[in-house]
């Protein structure tokens, strides 16, 4: 079974890779961040993508969205420190097969991979119930603009990055601020990140 492990923290990635490699059925390829993972996904086929959410470059959810658009057979399991409702809701909407917290026992991770390969979904029950309670109000375009704003980029930098006009970027940011009842773009990014929507 070919597994792509996308995790930006070297120590965590090394520990997970060592753990997974102990399973005779698993062949693990490591990606140091979301962009590296996407590069590998474009080059070869994997049975499972095991990915963190928050990474430099593309997030784990953006990788899941890309795989969904490609209509691949790759199963996706998100492993994260953050059990935020917005993350889980978005992950479920993107067809993610598993959602585990990093503090779960290692045996649970191995078991989850096998269950996901059988076509089952593995999402912590308590987390799933939490996710059903909140709806993410942001559009993908608002989310992308807000994420770049949170990185300290100016309106013109965001416009260049997203290939949009500055006016359009201002509109996206204004919409996001209004939807989140935020004081400004920084406050909006903070709220969205807290909820797991960013």
Distance CA 116, CA 159 (A): 39
pTM of the model: 0.67
User: If you average pLDDT over residues 40-47, what whole number do you get?
Assistant: 96
- Joined together, the tokens standing for residue 50 give 């095991």
By 3-state DSSP, what share of the chain in percent is helix, strand and coil, each rounded to 5?
55, 15, 35
Q: Would you kindly state where each structural domain of the chain is located, as residue ranges? A: 2-132, 140-195
HSE, CB side, 13 Å, CA atoms: give it for residue 192.
32
> Which fold is adopted by the domain 2-132?
Rossmann fold (3.40.50)
Give yes or no for residue 16 having a pLDDT over 90.
yes
Q: What architecture is the 140-195 domain classified under in CATH? A: Orthogonal Bundle (1.10)
- CB-based contact 47:3 (threshold 8 Å): yes
Q: N- to C-terminal Cα distance for the chain?
A: 32
User: Lowest-confidence range among 110-114, 117-121, 131-135, 183-187?
Assistant: 131-135
The reply to whether 140-195 shares the fold of 2-132 is no
What is the 3-class SS of 36-96, one letter each residue?
HHHHHHHHCCCCEEEECCCCCCCCHHHHHHHHHHHCCCCEEEEEECCCCHHHHHHHHHCCC
Give yes or no for residue 40 having a pLDDT over 90.
yes
pLDDT band at 129 (very low <50, low <70, confident <90, very high): low
pLDDT for res 101: 84
Crossing angle of the two packed helices 140-150 and 166-179, in degrees rounded to 10: 100
Percent of the chain past pLDDT 90, that is, above it, reads 61
For 70-90, how does the pLDDT look when each residue is reduced to its tens digit (9 = 90+)?
988 999 999 988 767 677 878
Q: How confident is the prediction for the chain on average, in pLDDT?
A: 89
């Amino acid at each position: 079974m070919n597994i792509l492990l996308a995790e930006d923290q070297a120590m965590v990635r090394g520990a997970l890779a060592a753990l997974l490699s102990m399973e005779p059925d698993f062949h693990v390829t490591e990606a140091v961040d979301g962009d590296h993972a996407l590069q590998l996904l474009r080059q070869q086929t994997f049975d499972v993508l095991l990915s963190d959410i928050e990474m430099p470059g593309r997030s784990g959810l953006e990788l899941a969205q890309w795989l969904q658009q490609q209509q691949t057979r790759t199963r996706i399991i998100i492993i994260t420190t953050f059990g935020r409702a917005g993350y889980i809701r978005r992950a479920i909407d993107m067809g993610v097969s598993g959602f585990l917290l990093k503090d779960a026992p290692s045996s649970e991770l191995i078991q989850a991979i096998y269950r996901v390969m059988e076509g089952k979904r593995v999402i912590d029950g308590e987390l799933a119930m939490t996710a059903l309670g909140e709806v993410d109000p942001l559009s993908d375009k608002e989310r992308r603009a807000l994420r770049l704003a949170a990185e300290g980029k100016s309106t013109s930098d965001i416009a260049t990055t997203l290939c949009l006009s500055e006016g359009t970027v201002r509109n996206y940011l204004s919409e996001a601020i209004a939807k989140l009842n935020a004081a400004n773009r920084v406050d909006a990014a903070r709220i969205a990140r807290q909820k797991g929507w960013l």
